[in-house]
A and B are shown apart, each in its own frame.
Chain A
């Protein structure tokens, strides 16, 4: 339940402009350099967007900073945990000492810091368990980003977003040591793709839910699939079975993790070398988030959310992986499994038209 803080709910729509409303002079001056990148229309749409972030850590802190700077309408944070050294480690939005935290939740602490970044964005913190929030709560947002939670929670929130009649874009993001993963579900998404100077193509992408994506048989995935995809599934499975908190894993868990890997590979009929032991070892023995990776994930995710909200640019579909060890930031499309047979994989060419530019 939202409970006591109901009164703190951001007043959605209050300061949001009407369609086509001009930005103020102040906004135009502040956003000058980025308007030169994505144009005025995109900036107007951004200014009207409502974003929910559940789970505050180094990666989501980076993401929040990016979208607050970009000038979204409202940002709502949910995370009832309190100050800890661990929470501080990769997060620059939290004061460096417990004594400065006044008994506030992580969401409140981060919200306080973010407000300073851009006075034109309404940032607020909300108390409560994200799982207890109903569909009508999620329907207030255009974008929902989750982190710091187990697979089952991600799936539940993802399903709630999908059950709402309007599209609520869903993202999950996780940084484990030197590796990171982003998942994107935009349901059905149309965008305009510029081909040449005077030609544009309208494309439509169909995204599977997290549940549908993860149901894709491993054997059917491309051979060059990022190994991180499989490794993350193994760790996820372990944490789910052992009922660990996300990231609550250490080197001593390695034998159990390797066992799960073996079982999964057998069940999915893929060779075990597709999920290298040293990668799993790195993931289990890592020390939380690695700040440069948080910056990279927060930057890529920020950019994706800006794209989705402004309906400009080609969004990534549907996983992104980064690993410091090979330095690659890779997009993988995991949607051609059984469960997603209803979803065409390739962009649907709806129509060609001439751009009037």
Chain B
């Protein structure tokens, strides 16, 4: 049962060639621990550059490195205490085509310290194709996990469904917000995008009442600044339109408010003093025009603390001031801006707008610090958890090198002890036989072949659900679609034409009973998709207008979220009132270091509850026994006991069915 002596691993470690993907919070700790543990040949891929907010935990980086490649700086920092080892940095995206299966094949083991689901899935597929073991990890706050994925021996990263990004019904966002996050989404995705983003994008900002579409079309012009319009007048006009007029319009729809509190329209004349006096030189505090990141409405208004919750008047001032600064100092950006949490002015604008809207709807206001966390999907991160997780990754990596299949463990780092354990090892599971990624199980797709276009299939299924980046789609031997740099012009035109055709009218007709082959050359993943024709789809439950089976995504967890305070910085959000509309606003939740998968019964998956740790309290996770999943202990022998559980202390979903111990074969 016990692994071999560590000393016997020395030579294996010295000769191993390892690939680290990610040089962030986990990556810095991992590179250090690998170097100390005797690894001498390490490749590291990270496309990111260093930011100030990394410095509290990514200890290989200093203030003077801000803006430089993480992979390169991390290498240099580690060589200072271990000068004689080889570290090869790649300042690149791991999805770059030159990191292909052949590239992966040179490594003994791949270690992930990634910050997003998409890249994790991509690396998983490359590891499967190259038959290289993968050690996967993630952390948020005090919680973390390490898992081992070895083809044919343990489940792959995608054997378990992963959580969907949070989605909100459009009408919750546009008409009936009940939580601060709804106001944030409105301010960021709708208002900010409307005023400063790509004007050609669809935007539901005016979808607020039962009005006919014609009236909302007429309103389009409201957001355009008129020729020679004074900037302050323009700002106040926008203010009055979105916080006053739009609310009045919404109020006119009586049905909406039968069971809800009626919002209060807010006009600038009520919250702001008369037209503001010009800032006498105050604005020059903001530095030169090129100094975009530091341009700040707070600075020009003399406001300091991002922790303060502003009054309605202060929010109104910030709103107008930020809008003015955008139009006077960053005019060239307007039309192409997307919200960026590191853009101070954008954060100020979104905070102010969200707070004013929150005032209308009787929702408590929040500080800029809190609003920034929500709008930027900032995930909590501390150095200690990353250090622990990095230690656990190296331990699993060594077992992989020793090929000690029976000793592989998934380990969970908990905030509160479970059965006295802060670090809880669990046996890995065998591969899921119906996994479309590692078991090549065919998928089946219900779709209206007379109505859905090939483009819909490519965007909604192949890219969004199957996570392929450069797909080829075939019907038998007929190529329907492919992506590539070296395609003939006529083929490109041909594929472009195919994209706009409904499936049934493609050159090689696709109908019920057809099997399509979808392949990603870089990932070396091939999927068969059996097509089933279906006429109708439920707009609310099946918004894609198609249903993929053999691939499942659990719904966002509503139950748990009810237990969270709003202060949980935006990651714990629930869907709000169910909308009659089938449209949803999608928020892309980029977890900084941890991808969280709510567990299915068969395994203790993620202990990571979004927003598990909240400011002002070590955690909002209830620690009482009622919330614990059942724990099953299997005594193997006197020495070892293996703990299996369906739920960790309050952090796992409450499934309490008995789990079965599944030993590796």
Contacts and interface: CB of A to CB of B under 8 A. Distances in A.
Interface of A: 22, 25, 28-41, 58, 62, 65-66, 69-71, 89-90, 92-96, 116-119, 177-178, 193-197, 227, 273, 276, 278, 282, 286-287, 290-296, 298-300, 302-303, 306-307, 312-314, 316, 320, 322, 324-332, 357
B81 A94 contact: yes
A157 to B, nearest CB: 24
Nearest to B416: A314
Q: Which of B569, B618, B624 has the largest count of A CB atoms less than 10 A from its CB?
A: B618
Nearest to B372: A32
B623 A37 contact: no
A185 to B, nearest CB: 18
9 contacts: A34-B383, A37-B382, A38-B618, A62-B387, A69-B56, A70-B383, A287-B7, A302-B383, A357-B565
Contacts of B614: 39
A70 B384 CA distance: 9
Contacts of A58: 36
Contacts of A94: 81
A278 B423 contact: no
Contacts of B380: 33-34, 36-37
B576 to A, nearest CB: 18
Contacts of A290: 6, 37
A22 to B, nearest CB: 7
B411 interface: yes
Contacts of A22: 305, 307
A292 B383 contact: no
B618 A295 contact: no
B57 A36 contact: no
Contacts of B300: none
B81 A299 contact: no
A53 B382 CA distance: 21
A352 B387 CA distance: 36
A293 B422 contact: no
Contacts, number: 221
A314 B416 CA distance: 8
Given A300-B384, A322-B423, A328-B425, A34 B57 contact: yes
Contacts of B304: 25
Chain B facing A: main interface SS: loop
A299 B616 CA distance: 22
Contacts of B423: 296, 322, 327-329
B422 A300 contact: yes
A35 B382 CA distance: 9
B413 to A, nearest CB: 8
Q: Which of A33, A90, A332 has the largest count of B CB atoms less than 10 A from its CB?
A: A33
Interface residues of B, number: 81
Given A92-B36, A95-B81, A292-B394, A194 B7 contact: no
A119 B394 CA distance: 30
Given A36-B380, A291-B37, 11 more contacts: A25-B304, A30-B56, A34-B56, A92-B82, A194-B620, A197-B622, A295-B29, A296-B392, A299-B388, A327-B425, A328-B425
B55 A30 contact: yes
B613 A292 contact: no
Contacts of A92: 32, 35-36, 78, 81-82
Contacts of A300: 384, 388, 422
Contact of A324 (B3, B62, B619, B622): B3
B385 interface: yes
Interface in B494-546: none
Nearest to B566: A357
B421 A329 contact: yes
Nearest to A93: B81
Contacts of A293: 391
Contacts of A325: 2-3
Contact of A33 (B53, B391, B415, B424): B53
B59 A295 contact: no
Given A69-B56, A71-B56, A293-B391, A194 B618 contact: yes
Interface of B: 2-3, 5-7, 29, 32-33, 35-37, 52-53, 55-57, 59, 62-63, 78, 80-83, 141-142, 304-307, 369, 373, 378-388, 390-392, 394-395, 398, 409, 411, 413, 415-417, 420-425, 563-565, 567, 569, 592, 613-620, 622-624, 638-640
Given A37-B141, A325-B3, A194 B615 contact: no
A96 B82 contact: yes
B615 A295 contact: no
A316 B81 CA distance: 33
Nearest to B305: A22
A331 B305 CA distance: 40
B307 A40 contact: yes
B22 to A, nearest CB: 16
A204 to B, nearest CB: 17
A66 B617 contact: no
B622 to A, nearest CB: 5
B616 A292 contact: no
Contacts of A324: 3, 6, 395
B373 A36 contact: yes
B411 A197 contact: no
6 A-B pairs closest in CB distance: A329-B423, A295-B391, A327-B425, A299-B388, A313-B618, A291-B36
Contacts of B388: 295-296, 299-300
A197 B624 CA distance: 12
Nearest to A94: B81
Contact of A302 (B32, B83, B384): B384
A31 B423 CA distance: 26
Contacts of A117: 59
Contacts of A69: 56-57, 59, 383
Contact of A328 (B81, B305, B421, B623): B421
B567 A33 contact: no
A228 B423 CA distance: 15
A176 B11 CA distance: 21
Nearest to A37: B380
Contacts of A197: 563-565, 620, 622
Nearest to A61: B36
Nearest to B396: A327
Contacts of B59: 65, 69, 117
Given A37-B380, A278-B2, A326-B425, A295 B619 contact: no
B415 to A, nearest CB: 8
Nearest to A191: B618
B618 A307 contact: yes
Nearest to B613: A37
A29 B379 CA distance: 15
Contacts of A30: 52-53, 55-56
A273 B421 contact: no
Contact of B381 (A37, A193, A287, A316): A37
A299 B423 CA distance: 12
A282 B373 CA distance: 47
Contacts of A119: 63
Contacts of B592: 33
Given A299-B385, A324-B6, A36 B615 contact: yes
A177 B390 CA distance: 17
A41 B378 CA distance: 20
Nearest to A71: B56
Nearest to A38: B618
B53 A332 contact: no
A70 B382 CA distance: 8
A38 B57 contact: no
Contacts of B32: 92, 295
A329 B307 CA distance: 37
A218 to B, nearest CB: 17
A33 B417 contact: no
A303 B384 contact: yes
B219 to A, nearest CB: 38
A177 B617 contact: no
B618 A312 contact: yes
A299 B592 CA distance: 19
Nearest to B61: A117
